[in-house]
Each structure stands twice: as structure tokens, then as C-alpha cells.
């Protein structure tokens, strides 16, 4: 049995020689003094030799561990030399570099930060428009011309904006593959100049401030369901997106009987993935009371009173469809002239033109704040300023509706001080 002292004491000789450690393991001392581990063994009736590295880089303890592992392979009927060769081949085998393989890796790193809906959209775009054409191509072999041909197919069906979105996804995949050497550059980098330009962004058409009285006059004569009307009014008075109205839940409301009622919309339901706080005006709280009362009435007809403000019996999503509010606009003769989303633009225009409210207050209330850590920790930013602003907006809508009922034009309004909360009523969270 060898020892470290004995190994260090071994001196070179005129010709190579070996010293045994037992079990087939020995140290080979070369004429230049270098010492190498070797393992002698028999397999298939033949004598074989396996190299175990250089001493002292591979110490005595490590060499014995290696010998024992080789013995275990022999006991299982495996040739240690063949096993080592197979391991080396596996290490030399290239990582899968097909575009689709790399894209799937990229998706795994990104989807945790995306909503399920957006993740499904991105995967669907790649599977429909990219993978069938370049999915099996080595990523390093893909040229700008190849990507442009993929983009041209999308443009050919008139989906110009979609073509730009897909190009951006593909570009991110190439940039993902650059650091580990699977490709050298992003072939999408200079494609924009060769792509069809999308149409300029057009803001959604909206009812103007001058047209508000007539809008409310027509709304008062519409024969649609009251639940749909309440959803539209709620969207207008709170300045939220229709999606945020449709999926509003009773559990998201706070202090409705107090001086500072609040709607706390969780990040997962917001477009910008940040919590959004909506200070509620007196009119908004009144609408909540009516919505709750209507839900209780409907409960007798198998309407489940549960999570949502705007439930629909038997609907797969359990809430009113996105078309409910649109159909009201159509019946009022506003198809192509105004949208539900346009009321957010109207609120922004009116509030900015008053000169009473800062741009930051308005933008924050519209949930246009920047994304990131700062936004995540500032959902309550300007809340005390936004509260009287939202009350002013609700009063403005009331004045416009009153003018419409009286057949008058909308008068100029000054800012009003928040009134005291009205008398309390029983709401779902009081049960």
C-alpha cells in the first residue's frame, strides 16, 4: 500500500517504473519524474489499462475512489474504458441548437413572469408563424433574409402589427442564444427598415365632453339590462378598463362605510401587473349598493352571489361578456364613433383641461405609471390627491347627465370638496 510520503519520495530513473497500491491501481513514474495513475484490469478475457490522471493533481485518496468506482462497473459487467469513452462522447455532443429548441428554452425562462394569457399568445404566435419554417434550422445558420421571409408571410395576410410583434419575439430568442455561443449575432437587428410600417396608433374614438349630455339622454331611454348599464356606469365613474370592471370582486373593496372607500385591484388583473388603487366617489359607492341589491334579487333565480360584481348565470367565465357594454354603445348609435375605452380618454382630457389636477395624478389614476419596482411599491402614490379628483369627475358626470335630462348644454364646473359619506347600508362584507 502506498502513502503520500512514499509517493513524494519516488525519484525518476533511467526508464519508467511502477509502484503498486493494490487492486490493480499503481503509480507510473516517468523518466522526467512525472507520476501518473494507472489501473490494470481484465475484461472479456483481455488485459486492459486505464489512465487515472497525474499525481499530485489526483491525490492518493481520489485515485483509490476512482479505482473502487471502476471495480463496481466491472462487477456490473461494464467495461470502465468503454464507459469513459461513452461519457466523453456525451460531453462532446452539441447542445440542441435548432431554433425551436432554443426558443423553448427562452420561453421557460420568460413565462414565469408572464400572465398565462400572454404566455399562450406568444407560444401560439411562434408555433403558427415561425416554428413551421425555421424551427428545425440550426440557429447559427439563420440569416436576416430567412427571418424576413418568415415576416413577409405574416405581412401578406395583412397582419402588419403582428409581424412586428413576432419579429421582436424572434429577436429576443437570438439575443438569448448569443451569450453561450450558440449564435454570434441577432439577424433581426436590421430588419425594421425592410418591414411594412404599421399604421400610426389611433386613439380609440370617444364621446366628447360636449356630447355627454346627449349620451346620458340616450342611455336613459335604452332598454338593455340594468346589469349592463351598471357595468358601463361603473367603468365611467372609476376610469378603469372594461376588463377590470368585468372581473371586479367584492373582496377587493375596503372601508365602504367610512370616509375613504377604496377599490384595491390586485396586480394579476392589471395590464401593467402592478396593484392599482381606485379611491371611490360617493356615486361609485351608490352604484355598488345597487349592484349588490340586483345580485341579491337575482340570487332567487339561481344567480350565484359570490365573488363577482357582475356575474352571469351559466356563463363559462362567470362574468358578463366583453360585448355587453359595447352593445349599449352600438344601440345608442355610437358604433365606429365611440368606444367604452374612450371614456378613459375623455376623463383624461376633461381633468387635464380643468388645470386643477396634476398630470401625475391623472396618469396614475389611469394606471399609466411605469412598470418595475418603483411602480410595485407606489400603488398608493398621490392617493390623497386622487380622491378629490375622482369625486370631481363623478360630480362632473352627474352634472352632464342632469343637463341631458333637462335638454341643456353642459355648464362649466369648479372643483367641489368631498362630501361626508351617506348613510350606511348592509353590503356583502357586513354579513
Residues annotated as catalytic (active site), given as ranges: 241, 271, 341, 344, 368, 377
Question: Any bridge partners for residue 27, and if so which?
Answer: 19, 37
Distance between CA atoms of residues 421 and 289, nearest Å: 13
Of 125, 133, 132, 144, the residue nearest 183 (C-alpha) = 144
Distance between CA atoms of residues 199 and 330, nearest Å: 25
162 phi/psi in degrees, rounded to 5? -65, -40
Distance between CA atoms of residues 188 and 170, nearest Å: 7
Q: How far is CA 394 from the centre of its chain?
A: 33
CB of 146 closer than 8 Å to CB of 163: no
Would you state the torsion angle of the CA atoms of residues 166, 172, 174, 180, taken in this order, to the nearest 10 degrees?
-160
Residue 39, class by beta-carbon neighbours within 10 Å (0-12 exposed, 13-18 middle, 19+ buried)?
Answer: buried
Question: Helix 212-221 vs helix 383-406: angle between axes, to the nearest 10 degrees?
Answer: 70
Element (H, E) at 406: helix 383-406
Would you state the torsion angle of the CA atoms of residues 212, 213, 217, 223, taken in this order, to the nearest 10 degrees?
20
Measured in Å, how far apart are the chain's first and last C-alpha atoms? 83
| Sheet of strand 262-265: strand arrangement | 253-254, 262-265, 276-279
Give the three-class secondary structure for 294.
helix
How does 234-256 read in b/e, with b if 16+ C-beta sit within 10 Å?
Answer: bbbbbbbbbebbbbbebebbeeb
Cell numbers standing for residue 105: 428554452
Cell numbers standing for residue 268: 394579476
Amino acid at each position: 500500500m502506498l502513502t503520500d510520503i512514499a509517493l513524494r519520495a519516488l525519484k525518476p530513473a533511467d526508464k519508467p517504473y511502477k509502484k503498486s497500491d493494490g487492486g490493480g491501481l499503481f503509480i507510473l513514474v516517468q523518466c522526467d519524474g512525472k507520476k501518473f495513475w494507472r489501473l490494470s484490469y481484465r475484461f472479456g478475457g483481455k488485459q486492459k489499462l486505464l489512465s487515472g490522471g497525474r499525481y499530485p493533481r489526483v491525490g492518493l485518496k481520489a485515485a483509490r475512489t476512482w479505482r473502487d468506482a471502476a471495480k463496481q462497473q466491472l462487477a456490473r459487467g461494464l467495461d470502465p474504458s468503454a464507459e469513459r469513452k461513452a461519457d466523453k462522447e456525451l460531453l462532446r455532443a452539441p447542445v440542441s441548437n435548432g431554433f425551436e429548441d432554443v426558443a423553448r428554452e427562452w420561453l421557460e425562462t420568460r413565462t414565469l413572469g408572464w400572465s398565462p394569457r400572454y404566455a399562450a399568445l406568444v407560444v401560439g404566435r411562434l408555433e403558427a408563424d415561425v416554428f413551421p419554417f425555421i424551427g428545425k434550422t440550426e440557429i447559427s445558420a439563420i440569416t436576416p433574409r430567412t427571418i424576413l421571409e418568415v415576416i413577409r408571410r405574416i405581412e401578406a395576410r395583412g397582419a402588419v402589427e403582428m409581424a412586428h410583434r413576432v419579429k421582436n419575439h424572434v429577436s429576443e430568442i437570438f439575443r438569448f442564444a448569443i451569450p453561450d455561443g450558440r449564435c454570434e449575432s441577432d439577424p433581426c437587428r436590421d430588419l425594421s427598415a425592410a418591414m411594412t410600417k404599421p399604421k400610426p396608433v389611433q386613439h380609440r374614438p370617444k364621446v366628447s365632453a360636449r356630447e355627454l349630455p346627449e349620451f346620458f339622454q340616450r342611455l336613459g331611454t335604452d332598454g338593455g339590462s340594468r346589469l349592463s348599464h351598471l357595468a358601463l356606469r361603473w367603468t365611467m365613474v372609476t376610469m378603469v378598463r372594461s376588463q377590470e370592471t368585468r372581473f371586479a370582486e367584492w373582496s377587493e373593496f375596503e372601508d365602504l362605510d367610512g370616509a375613504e372607500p377604496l377599490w384595491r385591484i390586485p396586480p394579476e388583473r392589471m395590464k401593467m401587473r402592478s396593484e392599482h388603487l381606485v379611491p371611490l366617489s360617493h356615486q361609485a359607492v351608490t352604484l355598488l349598493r345597487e349592484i349588490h341589491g340586483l345580485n341579491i334579487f337575482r340570487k332567487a333565480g339561481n344567480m350565484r352571489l359570490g365573488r363577482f360584481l357582475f356575474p352571469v348565470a351559466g356563463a363559462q367565465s362567470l362574468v358578463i361578456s366583453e360585448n355587453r357594454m359595447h352593445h349599449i354603445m352600438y344601440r345608442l348609435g355610437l358604433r365606429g364613433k365611440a368606444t367604452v375605452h374612450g371614456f378613459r380618454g375623455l376623463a383624461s382630457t376633461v381633468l387635464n383641461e380643468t388645470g386643477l389636477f396634476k398630470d401625475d395624478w391623472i396618469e396614475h389614476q389611469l394606471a399609466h405609471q411605469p412598470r418595475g419596482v418603483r411602480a410595485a411599491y407606489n400603488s398608493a402614490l398621490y392617493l390623497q390627491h386622487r380622491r378629490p379628483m375622482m369625486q370631481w369627475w363623478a360630480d362632473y358626470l352627474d352634472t352632464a347627465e342632469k343637463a341631458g335630462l333637462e335638454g341643456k348644454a353642459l355648464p362649466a364646473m369648479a372643483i367641489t370638496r368631498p362630501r361626508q359619506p351617506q348613510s350606511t347600508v348592509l353590503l356583502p362584507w357586513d354579513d
